[in-house]
Amino acid sequence: MTHTVAVTFNVRPPERAALTDAIGSAAGLVYLTDLDDAGRIGALRDATAILARDTGKDLRPNELANIHSARLIQFMTAGIDFVRLDALPATVPVASNGGAYAGPMAEHALAMTLAAAKRLMIEHAALARGEFNQFTRNRMLSGKVCGILGFGGIGVATARLMRAMGMRIHAINRGGRSDEPTDWIGTVADLDALLAASDVLIVSTPLTNATRDWIGARELGLMKPDAILVNLARGEVIQEAPLFAHLQAHPTFFACIDAWWVEPVRHGTFRVDHPFLSLPNVIGSPHNSASVPGMTEAALRRAMTNIRRVLAGEPAHYVLRAEERVNQTTL
């Protein structure tokens, strides 16, 4: 039997080369963007696997019903909360590309954490005003607790860097266990304990019905008054208004925000309802933690590796559970 992988989105020549190399002789690649209407439908009907970016945009309304033989719909991104997952065929497994951008995102988390702990932006602004605050104390990370909310690929990669800084790792994941070394690990039921213990809290959990608005005023109130909160996940995991109020009330508490509530890729514009960037205890970046050279090719290779597992009769990684395949646009 000859396997085929239907790629639903436009892929540039260097990225096509990466996909061809990654799939090897395991399957042929068919690019929908190269085909006419009839060819697209035939490719979807015959495909053993689908590689997609955003099926709501990549595919036309009449095309989804033609996905009959696929063993897996594999997305190239780790976060797929913006995809209409409920529109996909219920009988076909769906997988995210979990951990695809873990390396650069972990470095970004460390950079933001160090900038907050060492008051780099605050003191840079002070120097620009002519103030030389040589004896204003900053903070050490060594010996402190790094809490990680969402201990998947990104969380694990971040933990390794934070451990190298001398931090102790506390983590939460769905099962409360991991092959990655930790000093403490729990389940979502242990969230309060994680919040109370963390000197630095890394948020790297997917956005789902369960995690939307997960961190609000009560949860922030459990954290140390000088904790550093780093959000690499989705803005919607943290309630915007309570976070702003907490930052105003606790000037030694830092928020490092890479993931915002309204962003151009998912919403068509950037908007905040509160002036976070006017606060000295906020460090912001434009959700660019994964934007480094070569990461698109690396993500495509990782996605194709997961597809190869399925073609070889092995279980795919990062397959969504039934309750996660809801209409993500209503989250």
Query: Same structural domain for residues 272 and 303?
Result: no
278 burial via Cβ count (<10 Å: 0-12, 13-18, 19+): exposed
Say whether both 301 and 280 belong to one domain.
no
Tokens encoding 230: 């780093």
What is the rounded distance in angstroms from the CA atom of residue 47 to the CA atom of residue 26? 13
Residue 236 and residue 135 share a domain: yes
Bridge partners (DSSP) listed for residue 186: 172
| Residue-range definition of the domain harbouring residue 318 | 4-99+294-330
Q: Are residues 246 and 120 in the same domain?
A: yes
> Is residue 174 within 8 Å of residue 150, measured between CB atoms?
no
What is the pLDDT at residue 81? 87
Q: Of 96, 35, 26, 25, which Cα lies nearest the Cα of 7?
A: 35
Determine, yes or no, domain membership for 132.
yes
Give the per-residue pLDDT at 331: 33
Q: Is residue 141 part of a domain?
A: yes
User: 7 - beta bridge partners?
Assistant: 31, 51
**Domain match, 321 and 279 both:** no
Number of domains in the chain: 2
pLDDT of residue 321: 87
**Torsion angles phi and psi, residue 184, rounded to 5:** -165, 140
Structure tokens at 113: 């954490």
Nearest to 82 by CA among 195, 208, 168, 246: 208
Give the residue from 266, 284, 302 where a domain finishes: 284
Look up tokens 């990684």; give the residue. 317
Distances (CA, A) of 120 to 39, 244, 280: 56, 21, 11
Q: Are residues 306 and 225 in the same domain?
A: no
70 and 144 share one domain: no
Element at 193 (helix H, strand E):
helix 191-197
Sheet holding 168-172, edge to edge: 184-186, 168-172, 145-149, 200-203, 228-231, 254-257, 282-284
Q: Report yes or no: 187 and 176 within 8 Å, Cβ to Cβ.
A: yes
Same domain as 226, residue 206: yes
Residues 147 and 259 occupy one common structural domain: yes
For the beta sheet containing 28-31, the strands, ordered from the edge strand earlier in sequence to the opposite edge, are 28-31, 4-7, 49-52, 72-75, 94-95
- List all residues 6 or more positions away from 328 whose beta carbon is below 8 Å from its beta carbon: 80, 81, 82, 83, 84, 85, 86, 207
* Per-residue confidence in pLDDT tens, the chain, 331 aa: 689 999 999 999 999 999 999 999 999 999 999 999 999 999 999 999 999 999 999 999 899 999 988 999 999 998 898 898 888 999 999 999 998 999 999 999 999 999 999 999 999 999 999 999 999 999 999 999 999 999 999 999 999 999 999 999 999 998 999 999 999 999 999 999 999 999 999 999 999 888 999 999 999 999 999 999 999 999 999 999 999 999 999 999 999 999 999 999 889 999 999 999 999 999 999 999 999 999 999 999 999 999 999 999 999 999 998 888 875 443 3
Residue 14 counted as domain residue: yes
Residue 32 lies in a domain: yes
CA atoms within 13 A on the CB side of 133: 16
- Same structural domain for residues 164 and 298? no
The enclosing domain of 88 has a CATH number of: 3.40.50.720
What are phi and psi for residue 124, nearest 5 degrees? -60, -45
- The verdict on 70 and 179 lying in the same domain is no
In a domain, 161, yes or no: yes
Q: What is the pLDDT at residue 329?
A: 42
The CA distance from 184 to 33, in Å, is 48
Is 289 contained in some domain?
Answer: no
Beta carbons of 127 and 178 less than 8 angstroms apart: no
pTM: 0.90
Determine the 3-state secondary structure of 313 from DSSP.
Answer: coil
Tell me the β-bridge partners of 207: none
Tell whether 277 is covered by a domain. yes
Q: Is residue 261 part of a domain?
A: yes
